[in-house]
Structure 1
Amino acid sequence: MSPTSSRPSEVAVSEELLAPVGSGVELCYQTFGDPDDEPLLLLMGLGGPMTWWDPALCRTLAALGFFVVRFDSRDTGRSTKVPGRVTRTQLVRAFAGRRVRAPYSLVDLAEDAFGLLDHLGVGSAHVVGTSMGGMVVQTMAIERPERVRSLTSIMSTTGRRTVGWQSPRLLPMLLADRSAGREAYVAASAATWAMIGSPGFPPDQDTARARARQTWDRGFDPQGVLRQMLAVLTQPDRTPGLRGVRVPTLVVHGPGDRMVHVSGGRATASAVPGAELLLVEGMGHDLPPALHDTIAGAIRRVADRAGEA
């Protein structure tokens, strides 16, 4: 049965806090809801701080009986920026599938997430990730399945290069210089969301610009985005590992996703035994407010499957 502990307007929200998670990394995090409820960890995608998880969605999830934790991954927001410079040549080589040494891997990002759960005293949690975050939560379920109650992978892929590709029109944007200053970043960010956002629910430009300014002001690091990008580009094909995942799994994708082709979602759901595939018409590579109830309800549904196991 799905809990309904409170209305979204009544949900308790913590201040932003810091957690040491090992290897010299501190993560900035924030919680929504009652710590006695089921823990739900949210992982954002490439270059995205925790503030890209809309507080309204976090409150909705908390009202459904989750203790929601959102956080800045390393190299985003107020979390640790790690050493290591990435060059355009390295990125081009990685895009071409050639061997490149990355400053860290998706496994390292998964270990950061486990370290945050340790800090919170949480043995296992429901995990939800979008895009790169989906790749990390898949990795978590493969590496330490006993710590994952349920898995939700949104607009993500398996790491196999023949699925989940980017539209070629996006490559100049992905390789663009992000160090030209705040207003240049804001303009580029708004243009990016106009390209990759949900075609059925077009992003509001004023909202996109406000979010970009907040992202810059909380500690945007252009090199951090490139380090994360290299972790994504050098990821292994997780298909064999996903075949061994036994936790309840939900895969959400939009047929109109230009950043990660819907084939990536289909391949993820096909690889995990018993996974539910939810294809949302009109959805692209974002989480528009009009879809919050749909997505939150699906997350609650897969979490309930974990309780029935």
Structure 2
Amino acid sequence: MTTRVPVNGIEIVYESMGSPDGRPLLLIMGLGAQLIHWDDDLCGLLAEHGHHVVRYDNRDSGLSTHLPQAGDPPYLLEDMADDAAGLLDALGWEAAHIVGASMGGMIAQALAVRHPERVLTLTSIMSTPGPSISPPTEAALAVLMSAPPSEREALIEHELHTWSIIGSPGFPFDHERVTRMTGTAYDRAWDPDGTARQLAAIMASPDRTEALAGVRVPTLVIHGEDDQLVPLVGGQATAAAVPGARLLTFPGMGHDFPRPLWPEIVGAIAKHTAG
């Protein structure tokens, strides 16, 4: 069920899955992505492993509040971390296990820094303490900065090309999933200007390396060894910054979640949250 709640001066839309008695798990997605980009089956696996899963649309994505009148920069990742903390309030969760992917990992890191009492464990996936630490390859930067077409079928072709570049070279390319997910996201709430504002927030936010040294919650860092958008050095830097963090890397994994790796990724997260 989709629910809309007031949070931090805006409205956030979220969905939940799994038993309310499960371990509370908050999933934070990346740049331009919507809550649906946490695949239903992946969320189902997390729920089967004892979690009460909540996925949500960040500000400027999906069905949450969009901010076309925002300034430059429109906001920072710290504001988006405060959104996550506010969502925990709305859910009635004093604290939760936090999992963030890509920009979502940056938000999760900022949440652990700004609101440590709200974070039971931190899992940072395909992310970095700062974009200057792990700049994308030339090919990945080219697709990141290319203007997406406005027509639905052209956008699907654009995204198929994008994910052929930044996806996982060690695993079969899931043409059907990219096509389906892009079409669904387009129909649900497509806003390239919102994505541009999120990117501006990433670039304007401070490097978190020094602040992460103060994080004391159990931390798991997951990264693909063949990630072109946020190269492996980003995950290595995250793990090095957080005392006691564990780094788990996968050869052949790029900047996505290859289905064959789901059992290992979910198993690692479940072991991490179970303490």
Give the TM-score normalised by the residue count of structure 1: 0.86
SS of corresponding position for 1:81: coil
- Aligned-pair distance for 1:74? 1.0
> For residues 47 and 160 of structure 1, what CA distance do their matches in structure 2 show?
16
Q: Does 1:26 align with 2:11?
A: yes
SS of corresponding position for 1:151: strand
SS of corresponding position for 1:26: strand
User: Deviations 1:234-253 (Å, cap 9, x if unpaired)?
Assistant: 12110111001000000000
Aligned positions of 1:89-128 closer than 5 A: 101-128=72-99
Structure-2 residue corresponding to 1:10: none
CA contact (8 A) 1:198 1:282 kept: yes
- Aligned-pair distance for 1:109? 0.6
Structure 1 unaligned segments of length 5 or more: list them: 1-14, 87-100
Structure-1 residue corresponding to 2:35: 50
Structure-2 residue corresponding to 1:138: 109
SS of corresponding position for 1:218: helix
- Aligned-pair distance for 1:160? 5.7
RMSD across aligned positions (CA): 1.3
- Aligned-pair distance for 1:155? 0.3
User: Deviations 1:213-242 (Å, cap 9, x if unpaired)?
Assistant: 001111110100000111111121101110
Structure-2 residue corresponding to 1:294: 264
CA contact (8 A) 1:43 1:130 kept: yes
Structure-2 residue corresponding to 1:221: 191
> For residues 160 and 281 of structure 1, what CA distance do their matches in structure 2 show?
22
> For residues 16 and 228 of structure 1, what CA distance do their matches in structure 2 show?
23
Q: Does 1:183 align with 2:153?
A: yes
Structure-2 residue corresponding to 1:230: 200
Structure-2 residue corresponding to 1:38: 23
- Aligned-pair distance for 1:304? 2.4
> For residues 278 and 296 of structure 1, what CA distance do their matches in structure 2 show?
12
- Which of these two proteins has the greater Rg computed from alpha carbons? 1
Q: Does 1:253 align with 2:239?
A: no
SS of corresponding position for 1:76: coil
- Aligned-pair distance for 1:36? 1.6
Moved more, 180-189 or 268-277: 180-189
Q: Which amino acid aligns with 2:119?
A: V
SS of corresponding position for 2:5: strand
CA contact (8 A) 2:131 2:203 kept: no
Structure-2 residue corresponding to 1:67: 52
User: Deviations 1:25-75 (Å, cap 9, x if unpaired)?
Assistant: 111111111112110000011000011111111111111111000011111
| CA 1:264–1:221: 2 relative to 1, 3 Å | same
Structure 2 unaligned segments of length 5 or more: list them: none
- Aligned-pair distance for 1:81? 0.9
User: Deviations 1:149-180 (Å, cap 9, x if unpaired)?
Assistant: 0000000001161x221011222322222252
> For residues 137 and 235 of structure 1, what CA distance do their matches in structure 2 show?
14
Structure-2 residue corresponding to 1:98: none
> For residues 154 and 84 of structure 1, what CA distance do their matches in structure 2 show?
31
CA contact (8 A) 1:44 1:131 kept: yes
SS of corresponding position for 1:62: helix
> For residues 198 and 208 of structure 2, what CA distance do their matches in structure 1 show?
18
Give the TM-score normalised by the residue count of structure 2: 0.97
- Aligned-pair distance for 1:126? 0.2
- Matching residue within 55, 62, 67 for 1:82: 67
CA contact (8 A) 2:78 2:205 kept: no
- Matching residue within 158, 163, 186 for 2:129: 158
